[in-house]
Each structure stands twice: as C-alpha cells, then as structure tokens.
Structure 1
Amino acid sequence: MAATRPLNILITGGARGIGRGLLRHFIRSGNSVLILDSNKDELEHVKSIAPTWPSNKSSAWHALHCDLSDRELIKGAVQDAKRIFDGKLDVLINNAIPTPHVWSEGRAMEDDSEDIMDEWDLKVAVGLTAPFMLSRLCVPMLRASDPPGCIINVSSTRAYQAEPDHESYSAVKAGILGLTQSMAVSLGHRHKIRVNAIIPGWINVENEKKAADDAGSKWENGLSSEDMEWHPAGRVGQVDDIAKAVEYLISAKFSTGQEIVVDGGVTRKMVYPE
C-alpha cells in the first residue's frame, strides 16, 4: 500500500472467497480490518487461522457475525465498527453475496415454487440493500477520515453477460453498478466521498474456505490447463488481482463513479452447457 498511515477497512463477506483474501492482504500490509459475515463456521475458522498469517506490527483485525439480510443487525454492526475504528473509516468494501450464484437444487427461473422467490429476496437483501444501507450509515465515519474515505462495491462480469439460471445474481450485480454511479454523485458532491466498483471475471477462490484449508488444497487444485488457456491473460484470476484493483481505487483520488474490470478475457464469451 502507498498509504502513509494504516487504514481502517470494513469488508463484508470477509470469511471466505474474495473477502477472506482481502482480509489477509490488508492485514499483511499493516492495516486495521473488520470483516462481517453470516457464516459462523467460516468466521470461526478465520479467527483461528488469521493469527498464523504474516502481518505488519501495525495490523489489527476483527471478525463479527452479521446477517446482512437483517437491517437491525446491520445497524448494530455499524455501531461496532464505529467503536472499533474510533469513529473513522477509510474504506468500505461491499463484497458479500449469498451463494450459490445459481438457483439452488437445480431450479430454473420458471420453477413454480415459492422457494425461488425466497432466494431472490435474500440475494437482493444481502447483495444490494445491505450495501446501500451500510454505505449511508457509514457516511459519518467516512467523512471523519482525512481525506474522506471511499466505498468500493464488488460487482461481476455477470452483470453484463449472464449464464443460465443466474437471474438474481446478475440482477443484483447489475444493480450495484447503478448504485455505484448514483452514490458517487450524491456522496461526492456533498462529502467528497468517492464510490467505485470492481467487476471481477473468473476469480478462483475455491482455496479460500475452511474445507479447502482442512484438505490442504492449493489455488491451482481443480483447475485444468484448458481453464488457463481459455484466458488471453494465460491464467484464471486470483484474489491478489482483486486486491491490486482495490489498492488502486483507494489511492486514485481523481477516480469516482468508475468501473474497474478485472478479467482475463474468457468471461466475455458466454459458455452454455451442452
């Protein structure tokens, strides 16, 4: 990081996947990080392994359980963040999204079960409503930082080019781009708070979870040479690719309302199952 002081960073969905990778990256570079996650097993696992990660002497980290579909719990988490960060927040990363990205149990959007609507509601609540609510509630902390803090929303290339049965995921990830544009204007003019989005392509995070740690899995496990060759960049994406984009957006003081695509190329071509 090019920062002259440790940053206070709040990451949602930080117990696995991209969020966990960002937690590791930013405590390694000496920052104070708070993660929120609804998965208790993954959260407890992160608490057990994070002390083994390389870190800077100025690093500090905190992990809190929070169901981001519950608005009252979001309010409580913001109060916890205010206490932990002494009222100042440099970076809010809205990363959380419920998994799986497709409809569960092999359903399609034309399924007549009400269960599919429950899944829709959950993805919208966690992936779109929670980022809006967290962002607005964190404004006082973001304003209190010097310079004012920034917000980074994690979208997906699936916002532009979906695959079958990604309706809720794609809709939410497209919605977060619209939210980014609107908040960049509102919060920029009034508070000098910058808001940007990262659009990841295929970022392999199968190694960023408890089951993979228990099995001793490495990043490349499960990836074929064909997976790599599909990408003009020569490989599938890694969490560090996203971390570098986040670092850029933190330091890019003239960038707001922007969308940074982190994609090796293959996800620009839709691949349907036979």
Structure 2
Amino acid sequence: MELGNPIDFTGRAVIVTGGSKGLGAVIAEAFLAAGAEVMVCGRTAPATLPSSGGRQAAFRSTDVRDPDAAARLATAATERFGRLDVLVNNAGGSPDADAATVSPRFVEKVVALNLLAPFYVAQAANLVMREQPEGGSVINIGSVSAHDPQPGTAAYSAAKAGLLGLTRALALEWAPMVRVNHITAGLIRTASATGLYGEDGGTAVAGVVPMGRLAAPADVARACLWLAGPHASYVNGADLAVHGGGEIPARDLARRSIAPPPFSSP
C-alpha cells in the first residue's frame, strides 16, 4: 500500500491567510520547505516574506473579511500556480474586551475576522479544488477558547466556536473532493508572546499546560502538513488538538500551591 511522502508537497499550491507574520509565516515556511508553492495574504506587505531553501512565498494584499477580496485571493493563487490544493485559514485574533461594555462594531469586526472571513475564503477555494482530480484540503486554525472561554473573550470565543461548527458542516457538504479540518491551537510562543502572556514571555503561563511549555509555531505548522498530506486522506471534519493537553484544572493547581501539612504520629 503506497501512502506517499507526508511531507512532499512538490507541485502543490497553498494559501495561508495571515501568513506574512507570526504563526502564519511559520506555516507558510513549512509548506515552502516541503516543496509547495505558497501565497500569503495580509492587509499590508511585510518587510520580509516567508521563505525556505531560497524560495519565497508570494504575497497579495487582501482584507479576507471582504467576500469579493477573498474570491480574488483564490483566483490570484490559482492563476499564479495553475492550481490550488491547500487553504490554511490562519488569520484571526482579538484583543480582550469587557463583554458588558464592548461596542457592537467591535463584536462585528471580531466575528467577521474569525468566522466570516474563513467562510468566504473557503468558499472561493472550494470552487477551484472541487474541479481538480486530486481535490483539496481546507484547514481552519481555531482556538482553545472555542472549548474553554476565558474572561474578556466573549466575541472571540463565540466566533471560534462557530468556526469549529463551520468546519464540521463544510466537511459534510464538500466531501469527498475537499476535506475540511480544524486545529484547536493552545497557547503559542510567538514574537508577541510578551504582550500576550506577560514580561516572562509565557514562562509562568506554561505551568498550567500539562506538557510544561507553550506551543512552538512549528508544532502547529507540522499539524497542518499532516492534515493536508496523504497520511490524512481519510481525515475529514476532525478537530485536532494541538494544545499540549489543554490546561490543568484550577483545583489541581490550587492543590499544588498548598503544601500538605507534615505527617505526625498521634
């Protein structure tokens, strides 16, 4: 039984939204290293584009919240590379906000970026992929917030929960030509880790993760390669947890912080 090389994407074309920096750039570099042609998008062009082995990603300025712009992104990648095999919906995020006072405009923007945009880009990509003999793969980068919301993340958590539901719905509708899967990403150590997790860059926060560390962007990138590759050809509608085991329950952390009293014989 021939499974194919799980990390050989030579001749394949990939879009990574939000792929010009942070986690998205590492995902783009992973596909480039595996031989793929890659197009990344963002609102503005970065100073340097993701690259690997002397090959560089193409860039297209795109507001993925705009359905027409999302469609043009898929068209541009197809015209440039002659095909479209993988879409990684990575663009997303939100600052914390008090649900009691947050503005409707803020909520709309968060939902648009984290739920509507992946839908729009996936729609456009599907139109191309479904006509190819090999079909295609859509990977939605989600968040632990979809499962375990934290204070200040009401709009973001709701949007990410919707993204997980969208993944499962599209997996039903678009199979067998297009597989749609989801990655539940946990705390990730990126260049912005200090701003997100404090001055220690997440060292203290890592104590709540069973694996004892924050994820490296490469951990998520490798998961993308697997989901898009031949070894996952029967994986559809899945939610792949890349979060180091989640978070240790608060009651267990509390137990660890309270030293047991010394044992004494009566």
TM-score for both structures, normalised by structure 1: 0.79
1:166 matched to 2:161 = no
Q: 2:190 matched to which residue of 1?
A: 205
CA contact (8 A) 1:142 1:149 kept: yes
Greater fraction helix:
1
C-alpha deviation, 1:207, in angstroms? 5.7
2:107 to 107, 120, 125: 120
Match of 1:67 among 63, 68, 85: 63
Asked whether the 8 Å contact 1:161–1:270 carries over to 2, the reply is: no
Counterpart contact for 1:31–1:60, Cα < 8 Å: no
Is the 8 Å Cα contact of residues 198 and 260 (structure 1) preserved in structure 2?
Answer: yes
| CA gap 1:207/1:185 in 2 versus in 1, 3 angstroms | same
Which position in structure 2 is the counterpart of 1:233?
211
Q: What SS does the aligned partner of 2:134 have?
A: coil
SS at structure 2 position matched to 1:93 = strand
Q: Report if the CA contact (8 A) 1:163-1:270 is conserved.
A: no
Q: In the TM superposition, what are the counterparts of 1:1-274 in structure 2 within 5 Å?
A: 1-3=6-8, 5-38=10-43, 40=44, 43-47=45-49, 50=50, 53-55=51-53, 59-86=55-82, 88-100=83-95, 102-103=96-97, 108-111=98-101, 116-189=103-176, 192-206=177-191, 222-223=200-201, 225-251=203-229, 252-267=232-247, 269=249
Q: How far off its partner does 1:141 sit? A: 1.8
Cα 1:268–1:138, aligned 2, differ >3 Å: closer, same or farther?
farther
- The RMSD of aligned alpha carbons is 2.4
In the alignment of these two chains, the number of paired residues is 240
Structure 1 portions without partners, runs of 5+: 212-220
Deviation at 1:230, TM superposition (A): 3.1
Are 2:143 and 2:185, in contact at CA under 8 Å, matched by a contact in 1?
A: yes
Distance 1:46 1:207, change over 3 A: farther
Gaps of 5+ in 2: 1-5, 252-266
Contact 2:215 2:243 in 1 (8 A): yes
Question: Matched residues, percent identical?
Answer: 26
TM-score norm. by structure 2 comes to 0.82
Aligned-pair CA distance for 1:46: 2.9
Q: Deviations over 1:14-38 (max 9, x none)?
A: 1222111111222222211111112
Q: Distance in 1 between matches of 2:111 and 2:125?
A: 20
Does the residue aligned with 2:151 lie in a helix, a strand or coil? coil
1:198 Cα deviation from its structure 2 partner = 0.2
